[in-house]
Amino acid sequence: VVGLVLIAPSPPTPEPMSEGERMRLLVGSGDRHAAEKTLAQITAGPLSPALRERFLRDSVRVKPAAWREWLEEGTRQDISPQLNTVAVPTLILVGEGDKGITRELMESEVLPYLSKATLVSVPDAAHLLPLEQPQAVADQISAWWTVGVNEPVALP
C-alpha cells in the first residue's frame, strides 16, 4: 500500500448525528421515497437521471441488517486509536456542500490521527462526490498521486 484515498469518510470518532436523523434513516431503510428525500439532502444539485436511478436502486437494495448495524453501532464507534497505524500518504476529499461530513469535521476528527493526510474540498459537490463531480475527483486524485505518492511505505 503506497497511498490511501478517503472520499467523504465517516470520522473515526462517533459520527455527529441526531437521534432524530438516525431514526429517520433506520425507518426509511429500503424505502424509495425515503431514499429520494435523502438524495436531495446529500447532493449539491440534481444528478443525471441515470445516476439518480442508480443511487435509488442501490439504496433500496441495502440489506436492512447491515444498515441497522451501521447506524446503531458503526456510527457510534471510536476507532481513532487505530488510525495512528496508517503510515501512508492519505488524500481526504470532501464536498464543499456536504452538511454531514464537513471540512471542519475532517479537520477536527480525522486529520489529528493521520500524520500524512491532505484534505481537499471539492466545489459543487456534497456527499456523493464521485457521482456529483467525477472529473474533479479524478483530477484531485491524479494531482495528489503525481506530487510524489509513488514510493512504497513499510507497514508495521
Instruction: List, for residues 70-117, the tens digit of each pLDDT value.
Output: 999 999 999 999 998 999 999 999 999 999 999 999 999 999 999 999
Q: What pLDDT, on a 0 to 100 scale, did the predictor assign at position 152?
A: 44
Q: Write down the pTM of the prediction.
A: 0.90
Write the CATH number of the domain with boundaries 4-13+79-146: 3.40.50.1820
8 and 127 Cβ atoms separated by less than 8 Å? yes
The confidence score (pLDDT) of residue 71 equals 95
pLDDT of residue 146: 85
Q: Which residues contact 9 (CB under 8 A, 6 or more apart)?
A: 92, 101, 106, 110
The pLDDT assigned to 1 comes to: 83
Q: Rounded CA gap, 132 and 93, in Å? A: 13
pLDDT at 150: 56
Q: Provide the residue ranges of all domains of the chain, joining segments of one domain with +.
A: 4-13+79-146, 19-74
Q: Is 126 exposed, middle or buried (0-12, 13-18, 19+ CB in 10 A)?
A: buried
